[in-house]
Structure 1
Amino acid sequence: MSVYDPLGLLANVLMFLKVLLQDIWRSNIGWDEPIAGQQLSKWRTWLSVLDNVEKVSVPRCYRTITTSSSVIQLHVFVDASKNGYAAVAYFRYEEGDSIECAFVAAKTRVAPLKYVSIPRLELQAAVIGMRLAKATEETHRIPVQKRFF
């Protein structure tokens, strides 16, 4: 089972759920058993956040006007924790004194069930960040002059 979110617009909401489901899995609760305690509280929190998903609005265009004098940069941020790791990509448009940023895509992964050190997870985040940057440049016609990781 998966959620179709190719751009990662809901990555932060889904990451919370992925971590919660992994936590429930670790506690050996059966599929037909009710969850309780802190897990139930987290589940209710996720359900309350889910109501706000329909209010998410993302512009279809990154920028309405781009001239030949625009400097276009790709910025990719990555991070990791004991629960998982993520990468997010933005375009940054600079023209004269005007600067605009636009969300491009995001990717998240939960940490494996087997213990992995935080530095190793940071490296995994860097890998998905590089892959996200490569995919972003290959699938867009926007000429990127500089890349920042």
Structure 2
Amino acid sequence: MAISFEKAFGMHPEAMLVRDRRAQVLAENIANADTPGYKAKDLDFQQALNNAQARQAGAMQRTHEQHFHISTASRHETKFRNPDQPDTGDGNSVDIHRERNAFMQNSLEYQASLGFLNSRIGGLKKAITGGGQ
């Protein structure tokens, strides 16, 4: 009997890829906090996850049933963020406190998905090897 990783893991692998991409976008914002004219960006997580789910549903066909399905968030899901504070005169829209908070929240959510996947993998491994012998 074959194991369906897509059924076992759900959308967590896709969510981790989207969270990884969001971490990159937020890190770019933090790195450019003092760059004149830089506009803060963010990833629309829900849109990216929906797009990943659509890609998983069949946009990319596998040529063999044992091949893994891998997709990543596209740049189209990255949007400029509306600034929360008035322009300081240099045209930069990065609020460093907001970026750090978003980065930390994203990191915690990434770790939660990673913990879930580790638990699932442990359960599958136990099922395959016959338990805790």
Q: What TM-score do the two structures reach when normalised by structure 1? A: 0.27
More strand by share: 1
The higher relative CO (CA closer than 8 Å, separation ≥ 6) is in 2
